[in-house]
Amino acid sequence: MNYLETYKTQAETFLKVCHKLSKLMYVTGHGGNAAWKLGPNLMIITPTQMNKGDIKLEDLVFLDLAGNKLEGTKRPTGETPMYINFFKSRPDVQSVVHCHPPYTNAFAITKNKNLLMRPTFPETTTEVGPVPVVPYGEPLTQRLADNFNAFLPKYNAFLMENHGLVIMSPWDIQWTMMTTELLEMTSVTLTASAVFGDIKDISIPDLRNLDNIMSKRGLPMFGAPGVNKSLVDLYYPELAGEAGKKA
């Protein structure tokens, strides 16, 4: 099978996302990568050691979910084990972007409280969710992939400590790119708000009402299916269940 020909539309969409990541300077040099699961045992992934703005259609790599190359002249990203781990641990996930958007990445190196774990804007709260910090692991290693295991069931976006952002979704690569942009703009605003002191969170009753928005818009709850029952449970686990209803 000629995968590039069969999946030409998806490959062209994937390429546009790679170029947009570069244009926005969410990736620089050879940094960042992306993957899109096109079928039960097929993914398209970025090649290693290429600037994402320079990638062409013929540079894209097709792999099975064991990491075997099915098509492509380039080697896949060295962080392929991380993507294999994502797709196997979270069968609901369809696409993943790893990049280094500067304002979001600031939270990957700060020692202060991670503001991206707080519900501040309705769109970010319902489309991205909280963004925990995954402990540092050497890039391109299985250890880095394994460090996600405790977080994968519950969240869809992650900051790799001293490294960068990983964001995933059950939808196509365009949606995941859009949520990446949404999160970066949120980070810009949070950074700007620092001069005014502490920030205001969306209240717990209002957060509970945002579950209705997610339902109306067909947005699935973050994390693996069935793990999180509501946004209150996700953002305030100490208030889950009856305690949350009384809050």
The total of other beta-carbon atoms located within 10 Å of residue 43's CB is 25
Supply the pLDDT for residue 124.
98
Domain count, the chain: 2
Provide the residue type at 147 as one letter.
N
Q: Are 76 and 43 in contact (CB under 8 A)?
A: no
Same domain for 123 and 107: yes
Q: Are residues 221 and 100 in the same domain?
A: no
The answer on 98 and 26 residing in a single domain is yes
Q: What is the pLDDT of residue 150?
A: 95
- Host domain of residue 241: 204-246
**Whether pLDDT at 117 is above 60:** yes
Please tell me whether residues 175 and 224 are part of one structural domain. no
**Residue 181 belongs to domain with CATH number:** 3.40.225.10
Task: Out of 123-127, 175-179, 229-233, 242-246, pick the least confident.
Answer: 242-246
Q: Given a cut of 70, is residue 48 above it in pLDDT?
A: yes
Q: Report the distance separating Cα 234 and Cα 129, nearest Å.
A: 8
Bridge partners (DSSP) listed for residue 45? 35, 61
Say yes or no: 73 and 189 in one domain: yes
CA–CA gap between residue 233 and residue 244 (Å, rounded):
7
Apex 159 CA angle, 11 and 121, nearest 5: 90
Residue 239 — very low, low, confident or very high, per pLDDT cuts 50/70/90? confident
Report pLDDT digits (tens) over 54-68. 999 999 999 999 999
234 in the same domain as 151: no
Share of the chain above pLDDT 70, in %: 97
